[in-house]
Amino acid sequence: MSIRSMTGYARVRRSLPIGELTLSIKTVNHRALDLHFHMSSFFDPLEATMRSATRASVSRGHIDVRCSLQREASQQGLEVNRKLLAAYCELFQAVEKDYGSMGTPNLNEALRLPGMLVESREDEISEELQAAIVEALDAALVELNRQREREGAALVQQMLAYNAGIRKHAESVRGMRAQILPLLKQKIETKIADLLGGQTIEPSRLAQEAAFLADRGDVEEEVTRLLTHCTHLDSLLVKNGEVGKKIDFLLQEMNRETNTILSKSNNAGDFGLQITEIGLAVKTEIERIREQSLNLE
């Protein structure tokens, strides 16, 4: 299964002897599977079957399924709502008893009352109609997933481009490392000397402590992990299946490494300003990927 967007729409129409069947499915992003059916009670016997078929094809997102049947004129019939008509007559007689003779109930006026005339139809769905509804649902799901896969492919290409930008930025920071480490070591040695206040210390010990502290300010470990996450993200995006939740977790890790890089850039002098700009650019790319990933199944 290819990577799919959670956004899609499909509609299927079928001309049947009984009338025209219309079935549509609309999906938008949601953290879980949120399935809703919008159809008259006439279709209730098929809802469980339709729900099961939809779940088999869509695993995540807010889903609206609508089904309607526009009957042919020859298949339509009108019946009088006898209970409503009886209530109308009883009310007419009760009012007449209280207020005197008001004539006889007018049938033409009674038939104009809302709900007095109802469409007559069979209460049970025929086997032929059931088969047609199931077939229409299957066709709509196929078309829906075809659209979602097309949109998912476009989202993946955009996310891969953003990820390539992150990789390029990370490599830029790594390229500065050879120049930053001696600068860090020199600044630390100067600071230690100031703290000693003229007291002597073995040069080798001073160099050792300075190297240790400079190593703590080195961003190589964070850059390496960030590049590893970039590789993992690429692999998720090019393989099939559901990846939305996995990508969200991976982006959290990438953001954490970027924050650490930014915090370590404070002592890098002019290079620190460059690293800060790069780190902010990386965070922007991560957020762009996150926005796109919210639409992936």
For residue 118, pLDDT over 80 is answered with no
Confirm whether 184 is domain-assigned.
Answer: yes
Q: 138: domain CATH number?
A: 3.30.230.10
Confirm whether 91 is domain-assigned.
Answer: yes
Is residue 117 exposed (0-12), middle (13-18) or buried (19+ Cβ within 10 Å)? middle
Are residue 169 and residue 270 in the same domain, yes or no? yes
Are residue 253 and residue 169 in the same domain, yes or no? yes
In percent, how much of the chain has pLDDT > 70? 79
**Which of 61, 64, 63 has the alpha carbon at shortest distance from 32?**
61
Section 225-229 average pLDDT: 95
Section 264-270 average pLDDT: 66
Binning pLDDT at 50, 70 and 90, where does residue 146 land?
Answer: very high
Q: How many whole angstroms separate alpha carbon 41 and alpha carbon 214?
A: 73
pLDDT on residue 204: 56
What is the overall mean pLDDT for the chain?
Answer: 83
Three-state secondary structure string covering the chain: CCCCECCEEEEEEEEECCEEEEEEEEEECCCCEEEEEECCHHHHHHHHHHHHHHHHHCCCEEEEEEEEEEECHHHCEEEECHHHHHHHHHHHHHHHHHHCCCCCCCHHHHHCCCCCEEEECCCCCCHHHHHHHHHHHHHHHHHHHHHHHHHHHHHHHHHHHHHHHHHHHHHHHHHHHHHHHHHHHHHHHHHHHHHHCCCCCCHHHHHHHHHHHHHHCCCHHHHHHHHHHHHHHHHHHHCCCCCHHHHHHHHHHHHHHHHHHHHHHHHCHHHHHHHHHHHHHHHHHHHHHHHHHCCEC
Which token pair is 193? Answer: 């000397």
Section 210-227 average pLDDT: 70
Confirm whether 107 is domain-assigned.
Answer: yes
Range of weakest confidence among 234-238, 253-257, 270-274, 286-290: 270-274
Task: Name the more confident of 238 and 65.
Answer: 65
pTM, to two decimals: 0.68
Task: Name the more confident of 124 and 11.
Answer: 11
Residue pLDDT, tens place only, 96-116: 777 777 777 788 888 788 877
For residue 214, pLDDT over 50 is answered with no
Confirm whether 206 is domain-assigned.
Answer: yes
Are residue 192 and residue 144 in the same domain, yes or no? no
Structure-token match 């059916």, residue found? 37
pLDDT on residue 274: 82
Are residue 84 and residue 188 in the same domain, yes or no? no
Q: How many domains does the chain have?
A: 3
Which token pair is 260? Answer: 């650490």
Binning pLDDT at 50, 70 and 90, where does residue 216 land?
Answer: low
Residue 7 has φ and ψ, to the nearest 5°, of -105, 125
Are residue 105 and residue 232 in the same domain, yes or no? no
For residue 136, pLDDT over 90 is answered with yes
Residue pLDDT, tens place only, 162-206: 999 999 999 998 887 766 666 666 665 566 556 556 555 555 554
Q: How many whole angstroms separate alpha carbon 228 and alpha carbon 156?
A: 19
Residue pLDDT, tens place only, 79-93: 778 888 888 888 888
pLDDT on residue 267: 62
For residue 25, pLDDT over 90 is answered with yes
Confirm whether 3 is domain-assigned.
Answer: no
Q: How many whole angstroms separate alpha carbon 192 and alpha carbon 224?
A: 30
pLDDT on residue 122: 54
115 near 87, Cβ under 8 Å?
no
Task: Name the more confident of 87 and 284.
Answer: 284
Are residue 196 and residue 156 in the same domain, yes or no? yes
pLDDT on residue 289: 96
pLDDT on residue 280: 93
Confirm whether 2 is domain-assigned.
Answer: no
Are residue 203 and residue 255 in the same domain, yes or no? yes
Are residue 282 and residue 248 in the same domain, yes or no? yes
Confirm whether 88 is domain-assigned.
Answer: yes
Section 126-133 average pLDDT: 92
Are residue 143 and residue 178 in the same domain, yes or no? no
Are residue 83 and residue 207 in the same domain, yes or no? no
Section 125-145 average pLDDT: 94
**Which of 163, 151, 152, 131 has the alpha carbon at shortest distance from 235?**
163
Are residue 154 and residue 144 in the same domain, yes or no? no
pLDDT on residue 91: 85
Are residue 36 and residue 131 in the same domain, yes or no? yes
Give me the domain span that covers residue 138: 8-74+127-148
147 near 28, Cβ under 8 Å?
no
Confirm whether 1 is domain-assigned.
Answer: no
